[in-house]
Amino acid sequence: MEWCIPIQTFQVEKIQLGLIPNGLKPTVSLGYKDNDMVFPSLTLLLPLMRIKSYFPSTGKLVLSLDECPHVLRKFISLQDTITELVHSNQQRWFPNQPFIRKLSELKSSIQSMINNNEINLYCPINENDVHGPNIYYENNWSRGLLESGQLAQESMIRVVLKLQGVSFHMYKSTEQWSGKFRIQHRIISILVGSPPPN
């Protein structure tokens, strides 16, 4: 079971960073601490949002934030906070890098989830994919089964989004960090149209 934090109550300053593992694809996990409640992972429940586009071949899902300015502000704040944390921890995480990167450089190196008033998500759905998202449509749940038109442009959906961590790009030849990084995510569930009754 995934514990979800509604984006309305999510507070960026309460995120917690895990340890960075070694290897060519290091990822720092993200958790959340709210008073005595500790979430080992960070999963957010987003509000109903409008689909701008969905490309099944690549899994790229673009949602409009025009009607959700609070979500836009929270994600911008999240990305800024993570960039600042990367800046302050870079020496500890990557002790072999030849120089320290400036905060301004890192702000342009993050692969942003936000583009203007849109959020870009990755949502690959393959037929009978046991690892695909749970999909709620017309009073039924399915796993990874997407019917034609369910994610059509202008459709309204809610997304349960797991932020898996901060992933860093490494040069294979030197095993040094390139300076590029992104928030790695996975869509856990999609509610098409109205949410299910309680």
pLDDT of residue 29: 93
At 55, list the tokens. Answer: 């490309």
Q: Are 62 and 119 in contact (CB under 8 A)?
A: yes
pLDDT of residue 2: 67
Do 194 and 59 touch, CB atoms closer than 8 A? Answer: no
Is 25 inside any structural domain?
Answer: yes
pLDDT of residue 59: 87
Could you give the number of structural domains in the chain? 1
Would 197 be classed as within a structural domain? no
Q: Is 10 left (phi over 0), alpha (psi -120 to 50) or beta?
A: beta
Confirm whether 47 is domain-assigned. Answer: yes
DSSP secondary structure of 168-197: EEE-TTT--EEEEEEEEEEEEEEEESSPPP
Q: Is residue 198 part of a domain?
A: no
Contact 103, 80 (CB under 8 A): no
In the three-class reduction of DSSP (H, G, I as helix; E, B as strand; rest coil), residue 88 is classed as helix
Number of helices (H), then strands (E), belonging to the chain: the values are 2, 14
Range of the domain at 185: 5-93+103-192
Residue 151 in domain? yes
In a structure prediction context, what are the per-residue pLDDT tens digits for the chain, which is 198 residues long? Answer: 568 899 999 999 999 998 887 777 899 999 999 888 888 889 999 999 999 999 888 889 999 999 999 999 999 999 999 999 999 999 999 988 888 999 999 999 999 999 999 999 998 876 555 567 888 888 888 776 667 677 889 999 999 999 999 999 998 888 889 999 999 999 999 998 755 445
For residue 160, being part of any structural domain is answered with yes
Give residue 120's pLDDT. Answer: 96
* pLDDT confidence of residue 98: 83
Q: Assess if residue 137 is contained within a domain.
A: yes
- Residue 98 forms part of a structural domain: no
Residue 65: predicted pLDDT = 96
